[in-house]
Amino acid sequence: MIEKSYTIIDETGIHARPSTALVRAASPFTSDVKIEYKGKQVNLKSIMGVMSLGIPKGASVKVIATGDDESQVIASIDEVMKSEGLAN
């Protein structure tokens, strides 16, 4: 299991477009991938799950990956967080 924490810097938080990018980044991998906000975890491969968290600017979130390709999925999520301007 690998965990990585992020602080969201995007003015509008994790809204529809970046949620879609995160789900697309996580989906090709076989690992179980979750995103946690305020103690609630959802599947990062589910657009509805990610959107249901309503993650605003300044929020601290944690991405948790468990499986054979967990390090690759964390690297992919890391790239999306930076390229979408969600976290640095």
What is the C-alpha radius of gyration for the chain, rounded to an integer number of angstroms? 11
Partnered with residue 41 across adjacent β-strands are: 36
Residue burial 45-65, b: 16+ Cβ < 10 Å; e: rest: bbbebbbebebeeebebebbb
**Residues taking part in catalysis:** 15
Output the six-digit token pair for 51: 């959107």
